[in-house]
Amino acid sequence: MEKFTQLTGVAAPLPMINVDTDKIYPAVYLKTIKRTGLAQWLFQEIRFKPDGSENPDFVLNQGPYRQAKIIVAGDNFGCGSSREHAPWALIDFGIRCVIAPSFADIFYNNCFKNGLLPIALPKEIIDELMEDAKKGANAVMTIDLESQTISRPDGEKVQFDIDPFRKHCLLNGLDDIGLTEQKGADIAAYESRARGSKPWLFGMTQADG
C-alpha cells in the first residue's frame, strides 16, 4: 500500500449528505476484475449527462477541481454497498483524502486499506472547511498525518483524530496481511482451542450431508 504522510492539494466541495457508494461508483461497472483505471466511472450519474458528455454543474468538472486531491462532503459519506471500487475510483481520480462529519463503517475501513485518508470532524468545522473548499484555485489545504492537522487556505490549523493503529499503518504503508501473518502462532492457538470447544465448525463447508 502507498504511504500517506503529507498531502497538499485542492479541496473540492461536495455539500451532499448520504453520498452512497452506488453514487460514487455505479453498480453497472462492477464487472471489472481490476482495481485500477476506475476513475472514468467515478460519480458517473452526476458527473456525466445521459449522452456521456460532462455535466458542467458537477464540481469535479470545474477548473481547478479537476485536479482535486481532497473532497469535503456532508454526513454519512460512503453509505450503502461494501464495494471497494468506491475508494479505488476515488484514488484513481487522484483523491487521497475525504473530510466529512461522518462516514459509513465499511467505506471507512476500505479507505485505510488503500491509502485513502477519511477524516471525520464536527459539523461546525466541516461547515468552515466547506466554505474554504469553495475558493477554487485557492482552496488548497495541507493534510499532515503525523501531526494530525489540516492546514486551511488561510494557514489556520485544524486538529483531527485517528485510530493510532490505522495511523501507523498509513504512515508506513503497511500491508495488513503481512502484519497478521506475524501473529500466526496466536491464530494457530486459537484454532486448536476452537477445534476442541466448537468442533462442528471445522471441515464444515466440505461436510455436506
Partner 1 sequence: MAEPRTLFDKVWQSHVIAPQGEGTYLIYIDLHLIHEVTTPQAFEGLKLAGRKVHRPDATIAVADHNIPTSNRKAGIDDPESKLQVDTLERNVEEFGVPYFPVDSINQGIVHIIGPEQGLSQPGMTIVCGDSHTATHGALGALAFGIGTSEVEHVLATQTLIQAPAKNMLVEVNGTLAAGVSAKDVILAIIGKIGTAGGTGHVIEYAGSTFRAMSMEGRMTVCNMTIEAGARAGLVAPDETTFAYVKGRPYAPKGAAWEQALAYWRTLPSDPGAHYDKKAALDASDIAPHVSWGTNPEMVAPITGRVPDPAEIDDPLKRAAVERALQYMQLAPKTPLVEIPVERVFIGSCTNSRIEDLRAAAAIAKGRRVADGVRALVVPGSGLVKRQAEEEGLDRIFRAAGFEWREPGCSNCMSMNNDRAEHGERIASTSNRNFEGRQGPGAKTHLMGPAMAAAAAVTGRLADVRQLG
The site for partner 1 (CB under 8 A) is made up of 15-18, 20, 22-23, 26-28, 30-35, 44-45, 50, 74-76, 79-84, 87, 102-106, 109-110, 113-114, 163-166, 168, 176-177, 179-181, 183, 186-187, 190-191, 194, 197-209
Q: Is 79 helix (H, G, I), strand (E, B) or coil?
A: strand
Short-list 87, 109, 68, CA closest to 19: 87
- List, in sequence order, every beta strand (DSSP E) within the chain: 6-14, 70-73, 97-100, 117-120, 140-144, 149-151, 157-159
- When the beta carbons of 9 and 101 are compared against partner 1, the nearer one is 101
Residue 49 CB, nearest distance to partner 1 (Å)? 11
Angle at CA 84, nearest 5°, toward 80 and 85? Answer: 100
Residue 24 CB, nearest distance to partner 1 (Å)? 10
Contact 173, 115 (CB under 8 A): yes
- Measure the CA–CA gap between 164 and 174, rounded to whole angstroms: 13
- When the beta carbons of 79 and 140 are compared against partner 1, the nearer one is 79
Q: Calculate the alpha carbon distances from 10 to 28, 55, 66, 72, 205 in Å.
A: 30, 20, 9, 10, 50
- When the beta carbons of 64 and 92 are compared against partner 1, the nearer one is 92
Residue 62 CB, nearest distance to partner 1 (Å)? 18
- Measure the CA–CA gap between 177 and 187, rounded to whole angstroms: 13
- When the beta carbons of 156 and 161 are compared against partner 1, the nearer one is 161
Residue 193 CB, nearest distance to partner 1 (Å)? 10
Residue 162 CB, nearest distance to partner 1 (Å)? 11
Percentage helix, strand, coil, to 5, in the chain? 40, 20, 40
Q: Which amino acid is at 115?
A: G
- When the beta carbons of 154 and 204 are compared against partner 1, the nearer one is 204
Residue 202 CB, nearest distance to partner 1 (Å)? 7
- When the beta carbons of 66 and 123 are compared against partner 1, the nearer one is 123
